[in-house]
Structure 1
């Protein structure tokens, strides 16, 4: 089974979360809840945008999930 790639936006993050959660469920492993998507983006492309923080948190979650799934 292919390893989901790093998320680049909200849609790919949700796909990645779903894929890894399904794999974990199939193996009987409980993963922590993925980070929530931001709700306060102003859409101006700010330096330090809330989406940058979300994508970093999503990557941390992905790495942690992959470690648990290697088990």
Structure 2
């Protein structure tokens, strides 16, 4: 089931923030094998992009839980 725009909008700041932090720490781990470390601004921008599908997936999960609780 598709999440409502309001639910998606409420969850997006948290999803984008979480993805930005994950991306930053992943770049720190990648530095162990020679990859460049992202700046916090680059990680935040990447989090804004990667946060869209992650938030959509989480919002769908929340809708399924609400539907299950209603039955």
TM range (shorter): 0.3 to 0.5
**Highest RCO, 1 vs 2 (Cα 8 Å, sep ≥ 6):** 2
Q: Which has the larger radius of gyration?
A: 2
TM-score (norm 2): 0.43
Bigger helix fraction: 2
TM-score where L is the length of structure 1? 0.43
